[in-house]
Chains A and B, each alone.
Chain A
């Protein structure tokens, strides 16, 4: 049963090769401490299902845009007013973005501020030409 033995050994080695660097990569992140407000913000982010339309690190729904660095490109006041009195976003003519109360909005912004501190190795790429993206 040589092939079966090869299979079981390959199974063991591949999980070892994968598990050890993963442990090494995640250990320092576990030791971080995050402010209470940001943790609350993350809970609200999850409860409202934000990930169905928005992405963080490019993972999530594509209809609402990536928010990994939104706190870097937009001011806190602008984000707060967007979340508390949301506008109608085209192509919708009636449907508005969901609204949060000011406390919730502050927590979500605090969470997104912490997200923007994470090193994404330069992702997302900067646009080659100029840019309305930054405005």
Chain B
């Protein structure tokens, strides 16, 4: 049954293959372009913030509190925009049918962009809800949820209009967005009990971001590899289903690794440890696929640089470090140190960010010929991003290990420990500067290339 379906599907794709983007696909360009601009803004903010941490007396236009809140919110928001744009693009690509309303997608973008910019201005002015990652004031959260719902409804209308219920990738992407709207809801409620509030917060931070959005991102990534023809479509489709099942099955329960010490019952430690160990399986699956794709490709599209970077950080930051950090006896000593920060940088940007950058870059450059200079510059930018991230994470890992040792073994007090950590935090800032250089080079190169291809 599945074989028959895939054959039918493959024929249909071959028949409909074209060398231009449809209006629905073109509507995803602004989403992809904004991803690069926000990346540059975030890397600038983060580098400035990390310097402020080491030299607190430096004069700054906004407070450290505002800057950090903006940094954290950006780390969720631009990947969201990127995932939305890429999901549209690849659904149209692989189902060969137009979406319900490309005009609505365009308006949805400008609406979301306005909401995000106003949200950032509000955070810069010092308005905060005071919950990590969820600092945005309530009206902006409601505005974002409305944008997300419009998007999901448009997707549902497209599925109904084109009768796409039997396409696994469409169903998975739709379920991902439906879940992401649903899991965004705890964001809107506040509880007086900090344990309840932290649990709700992790439903958004872990399940919304790492669950539903990464589900869509990995699905989109498989389709992306299939359109580059580095993975046969049939294998990509099998991969999508297995990845999705594993990501969701282990992902939901793995949220428990945030529940160890926040005042919830002890059984969450067992659930968290087992489910987090299971999370390594989809990581390995993606790694094996990436390794296999190295052979059949006769050419290397520059967007694959982002894919391989993403796989690398997924193996190191999510698979290895994430697995170790989720073991309760080890987590007991390293929780609340810079090691967690290293893990979140490697997971959120290293894995998820690179994946979104890759699909967005592919969307923007696919239909134009790439000059050797452009390819070289993009390669350089990716090297800078990776090197910067490696220096940053290295600095944070050393700082985290040292923090654990000095605090819990040597018994120094917090102020003494913090002073001793400063050189490594400075190293992190240096990594941030290298990363920022890569981000600016990338945004310049991608935007200029896109503008040139549109004008000429």
Contacts and interface: CB of A to CB of B under 8 A. Distances in A.
Interface of A: 1-4, 6-8, 10-11, 13-15, 17-18, 21-22, 25-26, 29-30, 32, 34, 38-39, 42, 45-53, 55-63, 65-66, 89-95, 115, 118-133, 135
Main secondary structure of the interface of B (DSSP, over half): helix
Contact of A120 (B69, B253, B261): B261
Interface in B82-98: none
B56 A6 contact: no
B128 A132 contact: no
Given A13-B249, A94-B57, A4 B171 contact: yes
A63 B341 CA distance: 12
Contacts of A60: 132
B187 to A, nearest CB: 14
Given A4-B168, A17-B253, A42-B192, A59 B130 contact: no
Contacts of A56: 194, 198
Interface string B253-291: 101101011111111110100000000000000000000
A14 B252 contact: yes
A63 B53 contact: yes
B180 to A, nearest CB: 13
Contacts of A127: 407-411
Contact of A49 (B128, B168, B175): B128
A99 to B, nearest CB: 14
Contacts, number: 198
B132 A51 contact: yes
Interface of B: 1-2, 5, 53-57, 64-66, 68-69, 126, 128-132, 135, 166, 168, 171-172, 175, 191-196, 198-199, 238, 241-242, 244-245, 248-253, 255-256, 258, 260-269, 271, 332-333, 335-338, 340-341, 403, 407-416, 418-419, 422
Given A4-B171, A8-B175, A58-B335, 5 more contacts: A3-B242, A10-B249, A53-B64, A59-B336, A62-B403
A128 to B, nearest CB: 5
Nearest to B336: A58
Given A7-B244, A52-B69, A92-B56, A39 B192 contact: yes
Contact of B407 (A3, A46, A119, A133): A133
B253 A18 contact: yes
Contacts of B248: 7, 10-11, 14
Contacts of A130: 411
